[in-house]
Structure formats: C-alpha cells, structure tokens
Amino acid sequence: MDQELLIIELLSAAEPIYKQTKQNRYKNLLTAFLFLILTTVLFFGIGTFVYQHLQIRVRSIDTGYWLRGFYHLSFVLGTVGTAIIGFFFLANLFQGIRIRYNFQLFLERMVQKASRYPIIYQDNNAYYLAEKNGRPKIKLAKSDCVELATTFDEAIIYMGIKQVGFGFITLQLFVLDAEPAKMPVTFPNQQGLDSKWLIALLAIVFISAVGVFIHDGLNHHRNLNDTSSSISSNTSSSTQQTTNQSDLLEQQGKAPTTKTDQTNQLKLNQQTNELYMTTDSGNSWIFVPLKPDWLRTGSYTLTSGEIPIGYWMDKSYNISADFSWFIYSDDDQNLYFLTSKNNGKTWDKALISNSAQRIRYRKAQFFADGSGILVYSTMSPEMSSEALEIYQTNDYGKTWSKGNGTMINQPVQNVSFVNSTLAFVSTREKLYYTNNSGSSFKEAVVTIPTEYATGGLDLFQSPNEVTQVSSNQLETKFYLVKTSGIDQGKMFACLYQSSDNGETWQFSEQLSQVENSD
C-alpha cells in the first residue's frame, strides 16, 4: 500500500493513537523509575554497604585491592545504569513533545517501521509480523491490538503493542488486507533476544571497567614502586658505608660525646650520617648498624605530616640496656627486626616480611612474657585507605608469624594493643577494635560532647595508648577540638573511659591543651 495514502488514513485516527502513546509513555516511565530504584539500591546502596562491612574484615592487601576495585566497579555500573535510565526518561518526554507538535512526522516513522514487515501470520492469541523473507520478528497480542481505520481498498489498519523487553513497550502499526495465514514455525522469544543483547552490553561494560581498574591499579603500583626504587638508588649513591656478613653497617665515624636529658635516646650524627644510641644519658654512645633511610623505609609520615630527618616514628624502635630493637628495611621490600639484649655489643636480625612494599605506619609492642605484636600499614593505590598487616612473636622478636590483617578506609594514626588479643586502631575520626587478635575488626562508638569535634590532629595519637586500669575499665586520651566558648578552635587531650572492652567510649574530663607540635 502507498505510504502517503496510509498516513492520510491514519490522520483520521489521531485520538486513539494519542491516547495509546500516552498510556505507553506512562508505563515506560514507571518501569524506568522502578529500574532507577533498583539500580540505586543495588549498585550504590548495597555496594556501599557491602564495601563498608567487609573492608575492615579483609585479611590481605590483595583482597583489599580487589574489594575496592569491585566497589568502584559497582559505582561505575550504577552511574552507567542511571545515565541510561535518565536518557530513556528524556527520550520519552521528547517523544511526547514530538507527537504533540509534529504528529504527521511521528506517523511517517510509524508507517516506515510497519513497511518493514509485509507478511503477517497469526494463531489463536497473537499476530506475528514477518520480514520479506518470511521470518517472524514481532509478536503482538490480539488483546492489545486496536483497529484504527479501513482503507479505500478494504484493508484494515491495526495498532498493537510491542514488548521491547523488561517491561518496556512501544507502538507497532500493521495492515491486514486479508485473513492472515497460520503461524508456520515456532516464534522465537523476542524478549529473550533483547535480554541477550542487554546481557552482552552489561558484560562489555563489566569487562571494560575491570580492565580500567586493573590497568589503573597496576599503574599506581608501578609508580609507587618506581618512586621507592628511585629513592633507594639515590640514597645508596650518596652514602656508601661498609657492611658485614649480616648486611649490617660497620662504624666509620666517631661516636658523639654530648650528654642528654633522656636516659635512653637515639641520635643521628649529621656529619657521618650514622646512628648512635645511649642508655645512660649520653655518658656512652653505642653505634647502631643501620642507615637512617632504612628506618624511614616506604613513606615516613603520620597523618599530621612527614616526620623530619633526625626524628623517629614512635614505637618503631626501642632503646634500653637489656632489650633494644628496630624495625627497618634496606630494600623497601624485605622488612627486618633488629634486636640487641646486651646494650648493642651484638645484634640479631630477623625477617618479618618479604613483601612490605609501600609501608607507612609501623609499630611494635612487647609484653612481659616476651610475646609481642608488630603491625604496619601499606598505602593503597588510591591513597585513601590502608591495609594493616599484623605479625606476632613469642621469643622477643627472634621469629615472627603472620597473623590476620584488615583494610582501614582512612590512613592509620595509631595502633594500641592492650594485650595479645585486644587492640585498637585509630584514624583521624574513627576508632576500630578487635578482641580476637585481629581476626575481625569493628567500629567502636565514641561519644563526642556537643562542644567538641573530631577531625583535628587525631582521634587519639601515639604515644596515647589504651591502658587497662582495672579488670573492667579501659582508659585513653582522645585529641578533640573545642567548637564553642573562649577556647574555640583549640585542641585538648580528653580522658575517655570504656567499661565494655572498648566497644563504647564515654567522655570523662578535659585535660591539657595540645599544640600541633606535641
């Protein structure tokens, strides 16, 4: 049939076409809205909940990277899904405007679509529109078909509803000039075909996103490692010192002769770049067979900034006449523990880990029976979260065994072990605890008075350790900023107490003011 004549016939049936297109548009918008809710809940809501729930329970750095990768992937898929749904919303709105202001153009496109399917079959419940080769492509339920008009040659123009897939529908015109033949073959599931295309599209998005994140992660890893290698190379070329069979340094310069106010102290000789320690207020100085850069392996920073040369991260070493120890790495990969139990006359070296790249925070704690805990954090490629590795010893650091680990969503400020099983990890604004030696971590509830705020220097800062003052009472100092009164903007150390093994913490009293240099 001539398409121009068909359009003229359809102009007389404008009202039912308007009505049906409006109904279809409302149904499609409702379906899109439901998909928007599903996308938001699934990719943003559940994805974020699962990430926050699992990030402090992962036990390896690689697992933490994969968890963050899948979280970002969920966010990307949610964003893509939301964008597609938004585009669909706009397309439906534009269709309504287009029909209202140029109905004839709308009919021309509908007639062109109908002309692609000149052959029509039927069964008891549906019509089937087929291409010229006789292959059925569109199924239209007879109950949804409406007769629009009859042409001059007695052909009947019908309007049906085509199921696009997943609840979306569109209009489809067709013309019957005789009784359709029976359907000769089984009709393929059109929705299944559409689903396959959609699944293929999602698979492409998924694979592409995974590729992007893996590529980005590898670049971050490579950049971080290249930076560390560059630093190590420059350091080695500028300070050439003799080493012994244990790869420890041998003394080249003279020991200091200065006295100190502290009984135990570590000192850097700026002229020789050698380390010395004293356990008698400077009356005698003992050579420490390590380079300063070995102590500063990885990133030597706290959340408040980089530690200057000549100063040392708290509890990354300890000095005493009967037990001195140091955490260090001479290649930014193998992490060692150096100990002396005879005031530096002899030194013993133990390997902690052979995969300690990109470490930042590090600390060891020992108990009276010779057992101890060593922890260090490693920076993630995104630099916003850190993996925390935990090691244990029962022989004063001669041997170490790897325990469990976790991911922390902010840089670690301090780790405080009350005993071998109960420990706390603080960031600038949150406090986590474990009561099973690090097998799992949970966020502690810290009650902040209305006149204070977190986000200052730190929530609690080393050397403010969590201490057990009685069988059921823990204490520590949190650094909080005053938000009102004459001390507004100043930071104070505040005493906090817990009577439930650190699950909740209550404010006790304000202590002294804290300067940023403290």
Q: How far apart are CA 349 and CA 430, in angstroms?
A: 35
The partner residues of 453 in beta bridges, in order of sequence, read: 481
* Domain boundary pick from 388, 412, 436: 412
More confident call, 380 vs 157: 157
The partner residues of 182 in beta bridges, in order of sequence, read: 122
> Is there a domain that residue 239 lies in?
no
Q: What are the pLDDT digits (tens) for 37-96?
A: 988 888 778 767 776 666 555 555 556 556 666 777 777 778 888 888 888 888 888 877
* Domain co-membership, 402 together with 456: no
> Is there a domain that residue 254 lies in?
no
Lowest mean pLDDT among 90-99, 166-175, 230-239, 344-353: 230-239
* Domain boundary pick from 412, 438, 459: 412
Q: How far apart are CA 330 and CA 338, in angstroms?
A: 12
- Region 250-278 average pLDDT: 92
Whether 439 has a pLDDT exceeding 70, the answer reads yes
Q: How far apart are CA 470 and CA 439, in angstroms?
A: 25
Both tokens assigned to 29: 């918008």
> Is there a domain that residue 278 lies in?
yes
* Domain co-membership, 348 together with 469: no
State the pLDDT confidence band at 445, using cuts at 50, 70 and 90: very high
Which of 268, 349, 353, 278 is CA-nearest to residue 308? 268
Element (H, E) at 504: strand 504-514
Three-state DSSP state, 3:
helix
Q: By residue range, what is the domain housing residue 336?
A: 260-412
* Domain co-membership, 426 together with 406: no
Whether 196 has a pLDDT exceeding 80, the answer reads no
What b/e readout covers 394-406, taking b as 16+ CB neighbours within 10 angstroms? eebbeebeebbbb
8 A C-beta contact, residue 382 and residue 391 = no
Both tokens assigned to 117: 């399917």
Which of 281, 278, 315 is CA-nearest to residue 295? 315
Number of other CB atoms surrounding residue 205 within 10 Å:
16
* Domain co-membership, 7 together with 155: yes
* Domain co-membership, 399 together with 432: no
Q: What are the pLDDT digits (tens) for 42-57?
A: 877 876 777 666 655 5
Both tokens assigned to 195: 């689903």
* Domain co-membership, 391 together with 456: no
Q: How far apart are CA 325 and CA 320, in angstroms?
A: 9
Element (H, E) at 164: strand 156-165
Q: What is the mean pLDDT of the chain?
A: 83
The sign one gets for the Cα dihedral 11, 16, 22, 25 is: negative
8 A C-beta contact, residue 482 and residue 488 = yes
> Is there a domain that residue 240 lies in?
no
* Domain co-membership, 113 together with 164: yes
> Is there a domain that residue 238 lies in?
no
Number of other CB atoms surrounding residue 329 within 10 Å:
24
* Domain boundary pick from 384, 412, 440: 412
- Region 204-221 average pLDDT: 54
More confident call, 133 vs 207: 133
Lowest mean pLDDT among 207-216, 256-265, 295-304: 207-216
Whether 505 has a pLDDT exceeding 90, the answer reads yes
The torsion angles phi and psi of 266, rounded to 5 degrees, stand at: -105, 135
Which of 495, 491, 488 is CA-nearest to residue 511? 495
Number of domains comprising the chain: 3
Element (H, E) at 71: helix 61-101
Cα diameter, the chain: 119
Whether 239 has a pLDDT exceeding 60, the answer reads no
Whether 410 has a pLDDT exceeding 60, the answer reads yes
State the pLDDT confidence band at 206, using cuts at 50, 70 and 90: low
Q: How far apart are CA 391 and CA 177, in angstroms?
A: 83
> Is there a domain that residue 221 lies in?
no
The sign one gets for the Cα dihedral 395, 399, 401, 407 is: positive
The torsion angles phi and psi of 184, rounded to 5 degrees, stand at: -80, -20
Q: What is the pLDDT of residue 231?
A: 34
Whether 237 has a pLDDT exceeding 50, the answer reads no
Q: What is the pLDDT of residue 444?
A: 94
* Domain co-membership, 478 together with 399: no
Q: How far apart are CA 77 and CA 85, in angstroms?
A: 12
Both tokens assigned to 339: 């100990």
Whether 281 has a pLDDT exceeding 90, the answer reads yes
Q: What is the 3-state secondary structure (H, E, C) of 361-385?
A: EEEEEECCCCCEEEEEEEECCCCCC
* Domain co-membership, 331 together with 448: no
Q: How far apart are CA 139 and CA 134, in angstroms?
A: 14
* Domain co-membership, 75 together with 27: yes
* Domain co-membership, 170 together with 119: yes
What b/e readout covers 257-286, taking b as 16+ CB neighbours within 10 angstroms? eeeeeeeeebbbbeebbbbbbbbeebeebb
> Is there a domain that residue 223 lies in?
no
**307 secondary structure, DSSP code:** P
Q: What is the pLDDT of residue 151?
A: 85
Three-state DSSP state, 143:
helix
Q: What are the pLDDT digits (tens) for 338-353?
A: 999 999 999 999 999 9
Amino acid at the residue 315? K
Whether 258 has a pLDDT exceeding 60, the answer reads yes
State the pLDDT confidence band at 158, using cuts at 50, 70 and 90: very high
DSSP H helices, 242-321, are: 292-295
Q: What is the pLDDT of residue 415?
A: 92
> Is there a domain that residue 161 lies in?
yes
Let me know if 231 is exposed, middle or buried by CB neighbors in 10 A (0-12, 13-18, 19+).
middle
* Domain co-membership, 376 together with 437: no
